Amino acid sequence: MGQQKERSGSGDPVRTLELLWRVPQASGAVRGPKQRSSVEAVVDAALQIADAEGISALTMRAVAARLGVTPMATYTYVPGKAELIDLMLDTVYARMERAELSGLSWRERVARIAAENRAMLARHPWVAYLPTTRPPLGPGLAAKYDHELRAFDGLGLDDVAMDAALTFVLGFVTSVARIAIDTERAAADSAMSDRQWWELAAPVLAGVFDEQRYPFAARVGAAAGQAYDSAYSADHAYEFGLALVLDGLARRFEGARAED
């Protein structure tokens, strides 16, 4: 991965919010001949490009080509790539599946939230690498955020702690999602599986690696490699890590209740 150049919230904030919430006359409604497209069509075309080729392949020209319109025509609906990325991200959030959380234990609720985000990142890998410190403040994000906060309701946390707990869970999910994405990309880029890569590297490594000098690396690395058939297992990292996340949150929740 090269340096990530794209991020959310880098466009005109007023224009972006107008588009996200479809403020009248901000969604491409202009006088003149009947238009051939819409904001929704532009966003869908952009999502198809980003999902298939990555966010680096996304340009207004590429979107126009997919829609069969001139590049200038796309600017009728969206002023630029920065605003388009926010629209794309909010659309992804809006389309996420949201499980019914009522009647579940808090651990089950948090696990559902984690699974929903993991599935979303698998469908849209570019999202895992898109900085969102200035998130798209649209209806998709609002629905996602409200739904996910419900997993932490009634646990004795104040509002700031609820937000922090959710951020903690989503950060974990994103980090593990990147492992899975990077593993798949490495296999695709090198045209070989992890097993094939290790089979080629093993003879050279055996001749230069001193197991006596690096005993823990030798022992643990060999055990992990045998267990995963690779250097990493995204599935194992997710299952193992989620259990630790839930255990850590449990301690925090218990402390919050004790203070009440």
Tens-digit pLDDT profile for residues 155-197: 999 999 999 999 999 999 999 999 999 989 988 888 888 888 8
DSSP helix/strand/coil, 4: coil
pLDDT of residue 32: 42
Q: Which domains does the chain have, with CATH numbers?
A: 13-94 (1.10.10.60), 99-259 (1.10.357.10)
Tens-digit pLDDT profile for residues 213-258: 999 999 998 998 888 888 779 999 999 999 999 999 999 888 766 5
Do residues 158 and 213 touch, judged by C-beta distance below 8 A? no
Ramachandran region, residue 28 (left: φ > 0; alpha: ψ -120 to 50; beta: rest): left
Distance between CA atoms of residues 250 and 147, nearest Å:
20
CA angle in degrees (0–180, nearest 5) for 232-238-244: 115
Distance between CA atoms of residues 172 and 191, nearest Å:
29
Residue 7: band (very low, low, confident or very high) from pLDDT cuts 50, 70, 90: very high
- Nearest to 9, CA basis, from 190, 184, 133: 133
Distance between CA atoms of residues 117 and 153, nearest Å:
19
Mean pLDDT across the stretch 7-30? 85
What's the whole-number average pLDDT of the chain?
91
Instruction: Kindly tell me the burial class for residue 127, based on how many C-beta atoms sit within 10 Å of its own C-beta (0-12, 13-18, 19 or more).
Output: buried
Residue 36: band (very low, low, confident or very high) from pLDDT cuts 50, 70, 90: low
- Greater pLDDT, 138 or 33: 138
Mean pLDDT across the stretch 201-211? 90
pLDDT of residue 22: 93
Predicted TM-score (pTM) of the model is 0.90
Range of lowest pLDDT (90-94, 118-122, 142-146, 198-202)? 198-202
Rg of the Cα atoms in the chain: 23
Tell me the CA end-to-end span of the chain in Å, nearest whole number.
47
Do residues 207 and 149 touch, judged by C-beta distance below 8 A? no
Mean pLDDT across the stretch 197-220? 90
Distance between CA atoms of residues 109 and 154, nearest Å:
12
Q: What's the one-letter identity of residue 238?
A: Y
Provide the 8-state DSSP code for 191.
Answer: T
In this structure, is the dihedral angle defined by the CA atoms of residues 77, 78, 80 and 81, taken in order, positive or negative?
A: negative
pLDDT of residue 232: 79
Q: What's the one-letter identity of residue 13?
A: P
